[in-house]
C-alpha cells in the first residue's frame, strides 16, 4: 500500500500499487511468447511490443503508460475496413491480437481500447472501460448515444484517462482525470471540464476549446460493448458502415482519410489536402500513410469511395 492523493478531491487515501500480472515481467519478456494466465488469454506481449516498436521495461507506471499511449496509435491505425466489407468485428483478445498485431491491421475504438486495456491489465494496471457521448461532429442540438469506449487507469498519482481510438483527435498521451487543468500532449492541448457528475473532454483548436466527448465514471462491462459494437459495425445508418475512415498520428503530424480525401494536419494548424484518383491510388494511400496491410478483396470495395467508373 502507498499513500496517494485523489486528483479529483484532493483527499489522501491508502492505495494499492498494482502488481505485475502472473506471466508478465517487469523487463522485456524473453522468450518471445509470454502469456498472462488469469488476466487475458492469448496475450503475446512480445508481439504487441514489436508491433508498436516498444523496447522499454514495462513496469505499471505513469512513465510506461505515457510511452505506450504515444506508440500505440502511431503503429495501429484507426480504421473501419471490416464493417465496410461486412465482416464481423470481434472483441475477443485473441481475435484482436490476430487482426491488429499479426495481420498488421487497425480498428476502431472498441478494438483499439479493448486491446490496449488487455495489455495494461497484463502489465498490472487497474483499468476500467468507460462510455462517452461523442460531441465532435454532430450538428448542434443532436445528442448521440454513449457509444465511444475510453479507459480509466488507476495509478499511485491518481486516476488517468487513456484513449487510443478516437480517429483524427485520438489522444497521444494519457490525461490526469482532473477538471480545469490544461494538459499538453505531443499533438496539442487538452482539458477536462466538469459537468455535473460527468466530464467533458475538450481540445484546443486555433484559439478555441472544442468539445470531443462527454463521459461518466460508471464502469462498463463486456456485454455493454458487444451491443454497441454490433450496432456500430452493422447498422445501415452507422457512420462506420457508410464512410471509409482512417487516422494515424505520426511524429508531429496527424493523417486522416475520409472516403477518398486525405488530409495532413500540421502542428502549426495548417492542413494539406488531396483526393485519391482511383482505386490504386486510394489503396496506396491506405498502405503508405496509414501502414495498413489491406485484406483480400479490398480493392473492389474501395471503388465505391472513388470517382473511378465501375
pTM: 0.86
Task: Give the rounded percent of residues in the chain with a pLDDT score beyond 90.
Answer: 74
Residue 106 is predicted with a pLDDT of 97
- Residue 60 counted as domain residue: yes
State the cell numbers at 244. Answer: 471509409
- Give the pairing of strands 126-134 and 245-250: unpaired
- Tell me: the pLDDT tens digits for 183-195? 999 999 999 999 8
CATH number for the domain spanning 95: value is: 3.30.2140.20
How far apart are alpha carbons 134 and 245 in whole angstroms? 16
- Residue 266 counted as domain residue: no
Average pLDDT over residues 220-249: 95
- Residue 235 counted as domain residue: no
Which structural domain, as residue segments, surrounds residue 108?
19-215
State the cell numbers at 263. Answer: 488530409
* Contact (CB, 8 A) for 22 and 37: yes
- Residue 52 counted as domain residue: yes
- Residue 249 counted as domain residue: no
How far apart are alpha carbons 121 and 93 in whole angstroms? 12
- Residue 252 counted as domain residue: no
Place 24 in a pLDDT band, splitting at 50, 70 and 90.
very low
Residue 249 is predicted with a pLDDT of 97
Nearest to residue 195, comparing CAs of 223, 181, 216? Answer: 216
How far apart are alpha carbons 103 and 294 in whole angstroms? 9
- Tell me: the pLDDT tens digits for 37-89? 435 555 689 999 999 999 988 899 999 999 999 999 999 999 999 999 999 99
Number of domains comprising the chain: 1
- Residue 232 counted as domain residue: no
* Contact (CB, 8 A) for 167 and 203: no
Burial class (CB in 10 A: 0-12, 13-18, 19+), 102: exposed
Burial class (CB in 10 A: 0-12, 13-18, 19+), 140: exposed
Which residues does the annotation mark as catalytic?
A: 109, 148, 163
Amino acid at each position: 500500500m502507498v499513500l496517494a492523493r485523489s486528483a479529483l478531491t484532493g483527499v489522501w487515501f491508502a492505495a494499492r500499487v498494482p502488481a505485475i500480472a502472473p506471466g508478465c515481467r517487469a523487463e522485456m519478456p524473453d522468450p518471445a511468447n509470454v502469456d498472462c494466465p488469469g488476466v487475458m488469454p492469448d496475450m503475446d506481449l512480445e508481439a504487441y511490443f514489436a508491433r508498436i516498436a516498444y523496447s522499454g521495461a514495462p513496469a505499471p507506471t505513469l512513465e510506461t503508460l505515457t510511452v505506450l499511449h504515444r506508440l500505440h496509435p502511431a503503429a495501429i491505425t484507426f480504421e473501419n475496413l471490416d464493417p465496410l466489407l461486412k465482416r464481423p468485428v470481434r472483441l475477443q483478445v485473441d481475435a484482436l491480437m490476430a487482426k491488429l498485431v499479426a495481420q498488421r491491421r487497425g480498428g476502431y475504438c472498441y478494438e483499439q481500447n479493448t486491446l490496449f486495456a488487455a495489455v495494461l491489465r497484463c502489465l498490472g494496471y487497474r483499468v476500467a472501460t468507460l462510455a462517452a457521448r461523442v460531441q465532435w461532429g454532430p450538428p448542434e442540438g443532436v445528442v448521440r448515444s454513449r457509444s465511444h469506449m475510453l479507459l480509466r487507469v488507476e495509478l499511485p498519482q491518481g486516476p488517468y484517462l487513456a484513449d487510443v481510438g478516437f480517429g483524427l483527435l485520438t489522444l497521444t498521451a494519457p490525461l490526469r482525470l482532473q477538471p480545469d487543468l490544461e494538459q499538453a500532449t505531443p499533438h496539442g492541448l487538452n482539458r477536462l471540464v466538469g459537468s455535473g457528475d460527468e466530464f467533458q473532454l475538450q481540445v484546443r483548436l486555433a484559439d478555441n476549446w472544442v468539445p470531443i466527448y462527454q463521459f461518466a465514471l460508471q464502469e462498463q462491462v463486456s456485454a455493454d460493448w458487444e451491443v454497441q459494437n454490433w450496432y456500430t459495425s452493422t447498422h445501415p445508418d452507422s457512420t462506420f458502415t457508410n464512410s471509409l475512415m482512417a487516422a494515424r498520428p505520426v511524429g508531429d503530424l496527424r493523417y486522416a482519410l475520409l472516403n477518398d480525401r486525405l488530409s495532413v494536419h500540421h502542428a502549426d494548424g495548417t492542413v494539406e489536402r488531396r483526393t485519391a484518383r482511383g482505386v490504386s491510388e486510394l489503396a496506396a494511400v491506405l498502405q503508405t500513410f496509414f501502414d495498413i496491410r489491406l485484406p483480400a478483396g479490398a480493392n473492389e470495395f474501395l471503388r465505391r469511395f472513388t470517382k473511378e467508373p465501375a
